[in-house]
Every structure is written in structure tokens, then in C-alpha cells.
Amino acid sequence: MTDSNLSLMAHLMRRAGFGASRDELERRVEVGYEATVDELLNPQTQDPVDIYEFLRYYPLWWKPGTMGGLGHASWVWRMINTKAPLQEKLCLFYHQLFATGVAKVDHYDEIEDMIDSFRDQGLGHYKDLLMMVAQSPAMIYWLDNHENHADSVNENWGRELLELFTMGVGNYTETDVRECSRAFTGWTLKHKLPRFHMGRWDWEYEFRPEDHDYSEKTFLGHTGNFDGEEIIDIVLSKPPTAAFIARHLYSFFVADEPQVPAWSVTPPNDPKAVQFIADALMESDYHIGTVLGKIFNSDFFKDARFERVKNPTEVVIGTLRLVEDTERPAPETMNWASQIGFMGQELLNPPSVEGWHSGIEWINSGTLMKRTNFTAEMISDLSKPGVVKIINRIKASGSSPEDVVDACLDVMGPLDIPAESRDELLDHAKNLGEIDWDDDRPGQGGAAKATEILQLVVSLREYQFA
Amino acid sequence: MTSLLDNGANLNGSIDDPVIVVLQLTGGNDYMNTVVPYNDPLYRDYRPTVNVGEDEVLTLDDQIGLHPTMGPIRDMYEEGNVAILHGVGYENSPRSHFRSMDIWHTCEPDTLGTEGWLGRVVRELDPNKENVVTAVSMGPALFRALVAPDVPVATVENIDSYGLLTDITPEEKLNRVLGRYKRMYSPAIGSGPVMDYLGQTGLDALKGAEILNVAPEQYTSTVEYSDSSISRKLKGIAQVHLAGLGSRVFYCDHGSFDTHADQLGIHNKLWSQVSQGIRDFFDDLEEHNAADNVVMFLFSEFGRRVYDNGSGTDHGAGGVCLAIGKGIKGGQYGQYPSTKASDLDQGDLIPDMDFRSVYTGLVEDWLGLDPVPIVGGTFEKPDFILK
């Protein structure tokens, strides 16, 4: 086992998952990189998370309906506990892409159903995902397709299908938007029953032939009596769609790109890599699992260490998986779910259909505080088994300031930081005095000193990157 | 309490310096149901369902009236403190929320802008970065309008919990860790713009928290704000403004105004929240005799489609802006765009006033800065600021 293997595995697990403890990384290095990629791409080989365990503790959160603020707690718990982290990471990817929120939908259950579909179908063909989303009651309500009628077209879904979910601005005309929207008339949801009597009722997709516009449409140069599925087929046949989805995959899994609205006017940072992904999409009929396999095994992926700013979900879930003792459903689960929101990413409630602005835009003075405060608090909590394991690894490396600082940086990444930053940590460790591992006084002993260094490590600028 | 001077606050300004509060109506506010052309027969033809009833509209003159929930704004209009800026937008509206918002934020309709216009304003107001709370954005997100390299912005979600590593005890340890934090975040030369931004943000957070923490401590008021997220944000802004920390630019938003469906109910709720929030905010400032130097500016990324779709309205082009405050020369500016079918562009009102002209008025006449580099050109400005 070499450090470079370990560092590469840590990179893969940060991107294809939510990071991993050192024990897990060492196990995975034994298995090998490509085998690990295969395992991640085959979530069915892992025991699924028993969501009923969570619901036995918190039955209220089964179908929370309209109850504010916490419909995402069960998903957060699943992300903490999954043995198939790529599956949950992809749910997050799609949730960011097909951003749908309770601020308007006002019905957690329906958005959770959508996340469940991402979990089931996320590694499959993008067309199936688009069809699922087009018929998802949450999305239909979110983008008003229930108000898209044969005799009065509502362009919301039709526009965003083209702008946000497939082609991007600049590849279609206003007429295409209208024609596209007409093809989705009659794609609606069944009337919901009255609110507040026995809670929210489930919604269901329904096609109403009498409300569908069957007349001829001309869309992106094709003419015919298209329905929604044929529109999706036409859109997927256009190279801009592959390029657009490729850029999304690149930005989420490889390296930060400018924000999506800028894509129509700014080329990708690495056009060759994005083209490689776009080609893989076209060749595989948009099979996301196949494409992700090619990405994770590519040199451009392996070289892109720490080139993404962690999103808040990665910050919180990554930290919780690292410190452990977070697996049991507990009242804190709700707090952890909220923390992600405090850092600017309230799950199941994105700010708009565009999703969240990512990359460096996750960072501002307020969110940087929340990120630092949360990770620093968790990493210094010696009641957490994962923290104890980290301390034991540091302990095993020695007691000089150099030993302790380097061990902290190693076990928290491995992190490669500039000499100036390491010097600061070293200076701090020296000022704390010799680490006496036999001194176990709370707040002053060896472990307490080591956690102070860990708090500084997670406060580093470099720690904001994945 | 920490000395303000030590923190660099309020060094180069006085409490009377002009302050701007931007309230962004996110999602595309429907111009025609906000400032209603109630006497235009076409209005009711276009809007058989999604209209403001003639008996409900708060009339301003024989042509124009406000949405019925905008009573507080009507009152201020009658006192001469509201400017209505008609038909604001830009050519070739993309009708995309996100692209359009970017354009409003950066003043770059043709290329990708990276700097926000207010970021440039802050840079001019405080070129030596003497005050990290010159600009305060009510978070969690930082609005692109405020983003410019090397310009600090305090992004505050909840002013009471705004602080770094606040869980660390005892104080001796906290001070030791924060001292190191400060050193670790001091910009490392040549490490690139992203690292520089992070470094600066960390330092600004540290310094800004020390300064802003005094605001809620000092604040008392008899005004009880109404219960909505926009009122909470405006209250936070009032607290900071009243603490006299030298903040000049405030930013907040409310929404979503993206009313493709069920518009009547949603628009009602949103505008009553916004109107009440604005009333509470100015009442609060008045109570403290601190309203004279505050102008509030409201905009949205676009107006909505002239024809309704049976339940709501789709994305449009020309919209309306409002400027409110004692520094405003009340009245109406520009023309309501023609609603004749032949004058519409793909079913939308054609904007007649470039948004950068409005910014020019705010930047030059209110803030007293050279508008050309800030808005990216020379634009004829409406004369809506009292001089």
C-alpha cells in the first residue's frame, strides 16, 4: 500500500461518496481502485439502509406531508449510513439538477418519492430519468404542468426542460419552448383531496387525453404530432444536450465550473474532458452508470484533487460519517439536517428551479462560519468513536509537535497544504507544549491538545475543498 | 463592548451618509398586477382570470393603480416618497430567470459578468476596505450583485448567531484559536483567486462578527414587525443601520414571484408581506430619526407575459422598479409600455427604460459616485432623486 494509492482512494470516496474513515480507505486500497469503482456502480451488491429503523424511532417523519422543515431528515440519515454512497451522491446530483422544493410544492412526501426514484434509477438511462421527472407529481406541480392545457399553454415545464434539464440557454427559440410545452399538455396530476383532513394525500401522475394538444408541432426543426416522450427523444438526439449534461457531471464530480447560467457564454474549463463525457453519453445512449465509470477511471478525474468546494451536504455528511456515533436515529438527526440548510443548502427546498449556485458561491462570511463551527465542534467531541480512532492514529505517530501536526493533516485527508499553513499549525502546536498522551485531563490533556489542532485543520481554507 | 474604531468601523463616514437598501423580488414580479393599468380596456382582455378588480385597485391617478395589498406603499406614494419607474428592462430579454438575474446583477447583457454592480459601489465607497460591514447581505446566499474581487460583504442569516467558533470554551482557548485562525487566513500571495477569496472571507467574517454583534445588543424599538421572512430580514437591516456601524449597502430578497399558476393568491400574499415589511422598516427608522438617509430600491429580473394563461402568467420582459424613501422625488418616471397587441414583443411589454439608467440615477444622484464604471456605460437617467 502506498500513500498515493490511499490519497487517490480518498479522492474517489470524497467525490463518489461522502468521504471515508481511514479504516475504510485502507480496506478499499486492499481491494483496489477499479474494483472499488465497480462496487460503487453496483449499489445492489450492498445491504440497503433499513429506513424502517429510522421510522420506528420517528414515525412522525413517515410522510411528513406539509410539516415544515424536516422532511429531509430521513434522507440525511440514509446518507450517513449508506454502504452504497455513490447511490446517495447521485440523488444529491439529481436533486440539484431537477431542483424541486417544498416552498412551493408544500408536500414533502412527493419530493421524497422523487428522491427515491433517483435512488432507484440514478445509474440508468437519462431518458428514463427525464420521463420519470416529467411524470413526477412533485415536478408537475413545481413547474405548473397541471396548468398546461390544450387550450391554454403554460410554458414553465417546457422551458425548464430545455433550459435546465437538457440543452441550456441558446440552443432553442421561444417557438420551440411553446411547441415543447404543447406536447406536454394533459400531463398532469390527480386532484389532491382536501388538506388537513387526515393529512396530505398522495398525488399521482395522470394523462388526460382530452386536455392534450394532438395537433402538429414544429420543434427544433422536426414536424409531427409529438407528445412529451417524442420531444424528449428529439432533445436527447441533439449534441448540445449531451454537452450540457456532460458539463453538469463534470462540475459535480470532477471540478468546479462557472455557474450554470454562464454556460451559454463561457466555455468549459476543460473542454476536452467535457467532450469526452459528452461522447460517452452519446455512445451509451445516456447511460449514467457507464459514463460515471469512464469518468472515475479517467486521468482528468484522478488529477482533479481538491478542485471542488464541498457543498454543505458533503460538509455535514462527510463529517458525521467520519466521527461516527451518528448512525442511530437520534434527536440530533434533525439538527444535522438543519445544519446543511444553515450552510446554504436546505435539502428538498432549493432556492429556485435552478437549484443552488455551487463552487465558490457556497462560501460567504455567514456560511463559512457555519461550516467551520460545525466541523470544529464535531471533530473535537471525544465522545464520538470516530474521533477517538483519529486521536489514536495521531497518538501512534508520536508526541512531538511535528508528529502531531503531520498526523492530523494525514488523517483528515490526506491534506496537502502550503508550507505557510503547516508552519502556523506547527507554531500553534509548539505553543501548546509537549503532547503528553498519558495526561487525560479533560480540556488540557494530550487528546484535548490534539483536538485543538484538529479544529484548526478543519478551519483551514484547504479543508473547504473536496 | 469592543471599540468600533479598533475594528475599523465607521472610520470614514458619518451616520448621515446615503444608504441604499435593495429588495430583490425574486422570480419575475408581474408588473401589470403590481402597478395596474386599470383604465386600459386591453388589460381586462388580456387578463380574463389573472387581474386586479377595478374596485380593488388602489388608484394613483386616472390610469394607474397599485395592487390592493400595497396600501403602505400607496400611503408613502401620496406623501411623495415613492418613485415608480415604468417599463424597466433591457433589449432581447432571454426570459430565463437565471440569465436575467445575472444581467441585472452584473450589468453585462452580452457576456458573462463576474462583478456585481453593488460590489463596485462598495469598492468606491470604501476603497481601502476600512469597514468590512460597508455591505451587509441578508443570507444565507450572497447575491451576485454584491460580489467583486477583494470587496468584503457580511452575509448574515441571523444576526444573533453571527460568530466564528462560538462553541469553543473557555475564552482563553477561543482567543488562542481565533488568533491562529486570523494568521492562517491572512492571504497567501499567489495562491490564486479562489484561495484569496476564501482567505478574505474568513478574515471578514472574523472582523464583521465582532462589529455586528453590537447591533442587536443596542437595539430597542416599539415597532413590532409583521411575521414574515422579509420582515425579519428588514428588521436585521434596521438593527445594523441603527447601530451606526457605517453600513451603506444592504441587500435582501423575497419570493418566489414566479407565478405561472395560482397567481392571484400567491401575489396577494407576497405583496402584503413586502408592503407590511417596508412599512414596519420605515416606521422603525422614523422612530429612531434615522430614515432620512435611507433609500430602498425594489426590482425583479423581468415582468410577466401580458396574456394570462388561465391561472398565472409566464415569463415576460419589461418590468417595474420602485424607489422609496425621503430622498426620493415621488412620482412616476417613464411611460407605461404600450399594451397594443402590435406593440408587444412575443406577447411581452417592451421595456423602454434600461435598468442601467435606473442604476445610474441611484449611483450618481443618491450615492454620489461616478456611475459610468459601475453600470458599464453612459445611460440617460430618470430624475427621481431629491437633490
Backbone phi, psi, residue A223, to 5°? -125, 135
- Restricting to B residues 3-42, those with a Cβ less than 8 Å away from any Cβ of A are 26-27
Put simply, whether A357 touches B (Cβ < 8 Å) is yes
Measured distance CA(A257)–CA(A307) in Å, rounded: 10
Does A298 contact chain B (CB < 8 Å)? no
Residue in B26, B139, B188 closest to A418 by CB? B188
- Give me the residue from B181, B185, B309 closest to A152, CB to CB: B309
A149-167 burial string, b = 16+ CB within 10 Å, else e? bbeebbbbbbbbbbbbbbb
Q: What is the mean pLDDT of residues B19-31?
A: 97
Model confidence over B99-124: pLDDT tens digits?
Answer: 899 899 999 988 777 799 999 999 99
The strand pair at A222-224 and A217-219 is best described as antiparallel
Q: For residue A160, what is the nearest residue in chain B, using CA coordinates? A: B96
Is the minimum CB–CB distance between B204 and chain A shorter than 8 Å? Answer: yes
Residue A412 near residue A457 (C-beta atoms within 8 A):
yes
Q: What is the predicted ipTM?
A: 0.90
* B364 C-beta neighbours (distance < 10 Å), count: 17
Taking 90 as the threshold, does the pLDDT of residue B5 lie above it? Answer: no
pLDDT values of chain A reduced to their tens digit, one per residue, 466 residues? 347 899 999 999 999 999 999 999 999 999 999 999 999 999 999 999 999 998 898 887 777 776 666 688 899 999 999 999 999 999 999 999 999 988 788 788 899 999 999 999 999 999 999 999 999 999 999 999 999 999 999 999 999 999 999 999 999 999 999 999 999 999 999 865 545 455 567 889 999 999 999 999 999 999 999 999 999 999 999 999 999 999 999 999 999 999 898 898 899 999 999 999 999 999 999 999 999 999 999 999 999 999 999 999 999 999 999 999 888 888 888 889 989 998 999 999 898 888 999 999 999 998 999 999 999 999 999 999 999 999 999 999 999 999 999 999 999 999 999 999 999 999 999 999 888 999 988 888 999 999 999 999 999 999 999 9
Task: Calculate the alpha carbon distances from B1 to A251, A401, B133, B217 in Å.
Answer: 45, 36, 17, 10
Nearest to B314 among A154, A262, A377 (CB): A154
* End-to-end Cα separation, chain A, in angstroms: 22
**Which run of H or E residues covers position A75?**
helix A73-81
Q: How far is A45 from chain B (nearest CA, A)?
A: 39
Query: Would an 8 Å CB–CB cutoff place B184 in contact with chain A?
Result: yes
B198 touches chain A (CB under 8 A): yes
Per-residue DSSP letter, B149:
T
Specify the domain boundaries for CATH 3.40.720 within chain B. 5-162+217-375
B12, pLDDT greater than 80: no
Q: pTM for the full model?
A: 0.83
What pLDDT was estimated at residue B4?
A: 39
Contacts of A354 in chain B (CB under 8 A): 97-98
Contact indicator for A465, B191 with CB cutoff of 8 Å: no
Cα distance between residue B36 and residue B65, in whole Å: 5
The pLDDT, as a whole number, for residue B379 is: 97
CATH code, residues B5-162+217-375:
3.40.720
Burial B276-299 (b: 16+ CB within 10 A, else e): bbbbbbbbbbeeeebbebbbbbbb
Best of B106, B112, B136, B346 to mutate (most A CBs within 10 Å, chain A): B112
Residue of B191, B198, B212, B269 to mutate, interface with A, max A Cβ within 10 Å:
B198
Contact A369 B98 (CB under 8 A): no
Contact A364 B153 (CB under 8 A): yes
What's the average model confidence in pLDDT over B140-146?
87
- Determine whether the interchain pair B154/A365 forms a contact, defined as Cβ–Cβ distance below 8 Å: yes
Interface test with B, best of A147, A319, A364 (most B CBs within 10 A): A364
Higher pLDDT, A29 or B167: A29
* B10 pLDDT more than 80: no
Q: Which of A155, A261, A431 sits opposite B98 (nearest CB)?
A: A261
User: Which of A 419-448 lie inside 8 A of B, CB atoms?
Assistant: 420-421, 424-425, 428, 431
Q: Which residues of A touch B183 (CB under 8 A)?
A: 424
Contact between chains at B155 and A366 (C-beta distance less than 8 A): yes
| Calpha distance B292→B170 (Å, rounded) | 44
The chain B residue lying nearest A427, using CA atoms, is B180
How many Cβ contacts (< 8 angstroms) between chains A and B? Answer: 167
CB contact residues (below 8 A), chain A span 130-149, against chain B:
143-144, 146-147, 149
Q: What is the pLDDT of residue A194?
A: 47
Decide if pLDDT at B242 tops 60: yes
Tell me the residues of chain B between 343 and 382 that have a Cβ less than 8 Å away from chain A: 346
Residues B295-343: tens digit of each pLDDT? 999 999 999 999 999 999 999 999 999 999 999 999 999 999 999 999 9
What single DSSP character describes residue A61? Answer: G
User: Which H or E run contains B115?
Assistant: none
Among B residues 77-136, those touching chain A with beta carbons less than 8 Å apart: 94-99, 101-102, 110-112
Partners of residue A174 in chain B, C-beta under 8 Å: 95, 346
Q: Does B205 touch chain A (CB under 8 A)?
A: yes
**Record: contact B314-A155, CB cut-off 8 A:** yes
Question: What type of residue sits at position A88?
Answer: E
CB atoms within 10 A of CB B192: 9
Taking the CA of residue B164 as centre, how many other CA atoms within 13 Å lie in the half-sphere pointing to its CB? 31
**CB of A363 less than 8 A from some CB of B:** yes
Which of B98, B137, B181 comes nearest A459 by C-beta?
B181
With an 8 Å Cβ cutoff, are A373 and B165 in contact?
Answer: yes
> Which residues does A144 contact at the CB level (< 8 Å), separation at least 6?
A154, A156, A157, B260, B261, B311, B312
